[in-house]
Amino acid sequence: MDRRQRYREQTRQEVKRIALEQLAEHGIAGISVNAIGKRLGVTGPAIYRYFANRDALLTELIADGYHGLADTLEAAIDPAAPPAERTRAVATALRDWAVAVPHRYLLLFGTPIPGYQAPAHTLDAANRAMTALLATAPPDPGPTTVAEPLYGQLSEWGEQLGHNHLTQRQQHWGMTVWSRLHGVLSLEVAGQFSLTGLDPGLLYRAEVEALIAWWE
Amino acid sequence: MDRRQRYREQTRQEVKRIALEQLAEHGIAGISVNAIGKRLGVTGPAIYRYFANRDALLTELIADGYHGLADTLEAAIDPAAPPAERTRAVATALRDWAVAVPHRYLLLFGTPIPGYQAPAHTLDAANRAMTALLATAPPDPGPTTVAEPLYGQLSEWGEQLGHNHLTQRQQHWGMTVWSRLHGVLSLEVAGQFSLTGLDPGLLYRAEVEALIAWWE
DNA sequence: AATGTGAGTTAGAGGCTATAACAACCGAAG
DNA sequence: CTTCGGTTGTTATAGCCTCTAACTCACATT
Contact A188, A200 (CB under 8 A): yes
Q: Quote the crossing angle between the two packed helices B148-161 and A200-213, to the nearest 10°.
A: 120
State how far residue B182 is from chain A, nearest Cα, in angstroms.
6
Residues of chain B with pLDDT under 70: 1, 115, 216
State how far residue B171 is from chain A, nearest Cα, in angstroms.
12
Confirm whether any atom of chain D, the nucleic acid strand, is less than 7 Å from CB of B50.
no
Alpha helices of chain A — where are they, by DSSP H? 3-26, 33-40, 54-76, 83-100, 102-109, 120-134, 148-161, 168-189, 200-213
Distance between CA atoms of residues B79 and B135, nearest Å: 9
Q: Which amino acid is at A75?
A: A
State how far residue B78 is from chain A, nearest Cα, in angstroms.
24
Would the CB atoms of B210 and A144 count as touching at under 8 Å?
A: yes
Would the CB atoms of A195 and B145 count as touching at under 8 Å?
A: no
Would the CB atoms of A197 and B157 count as touching at under 8 Å?
A: yes
Q: Which residues of B touch A146 (CB under 8 A)?
A: 202, 206
CB within 8 Å of A94: residues ≥ 6 apart? A69, A72, A73, A181, A185
Distance between CA atoms of residues B44 and A35, nearest Å: 27
CA of A2 to C1' of C28 (A): 12
State how far residue A51 is from chain B, nearest Cα, in angstroms.
23
* Nearest C-alpha in A relative to B183: A183
Domain architecture of chain A: domains with CATH: 1-51 (1.10.10), 62-213 (1.10.357.10)
Q: Average the pLDDT over A140-166 and give the result.
A: 89
pLDDT in tens, B126-185: 999 999 999 999 999 888 888 889 999 999 999 988 898 999 999 999 999 999 999 999
pLDDT at A1 over 60: no
CA of A62 to C1' of C20 (A): 30
pLDDT in tens, A9-57: 999 999 999 999 999 999 999 999 999 999 999 999 999 999 999 999 9
User: What was the pLDDT predicted at B115?
Assistant: 67
DSSP A192: T
User: What was the pLDDT predicted at B1?
Assistant: 58
Alpha helices of A27-53 — where are they, by DSSP H? 33-40
User: What was the pLDDT predicted at B216?
Assistant: 67
- What nucleotides of chain C have any atom within 7 angstroms of a protein Cβ? 6-12, 15-20, 27-28
For chain B, what percentages of helix, strand and coil (3-state, to nearest 5) are there?
Answer: 70, 0, 30
* Nearest C-alpha in A relative to B150: A202
List the single residue in B111, B179, B205 with the smallest CB-CB distance to A111.
B111
List the single residue in B110, B150, B183 with the smallest CB-CB distance to A203.
B150
Would the CB atoms of B179 and A180 count as touching at under 8 Å?
A: yes
- Of residues B35, B26, B181, the one with CA closest to residue B104: B26
Distance between CA atoms of residues B23 and B58, nearest Å: 11
pLDDT in tens, A73-110: 999 999 999 999 999 999 999 999 999 999 999 999 99
Contact A110, A159 (CB under 8 A): no
CB within 8 Å of A201: residues ≥ 6 apart? A95
pLDDT in tens, A117-142: 777 778 888 999 999 999 999 999 88
List the single residue in B28, B172, B180 with the smallest CB-CB distance to A183.
B180
User: What was the pLDDT predicted at B170?
Assistant: 94
Angle (CA) B69 A201 B207, round 5° = 50
CB within 8 Å of A13: residues ≥ 6 apart? none
User: What was the pLDDT predicted at B110?
Assistant: 96
Q: Which residues of A touch B203 (CB under 8 A)?
A: 150, 175-176, 179
Q: Average the pLDDT over A172-186 and give the result.
A: 97
Contact A36, A19 (CB under 8 A): yes
ipTM > 0.85? yes
Would the CB atoms of A205 and B156 count as touching at under 8 Å?
A: no
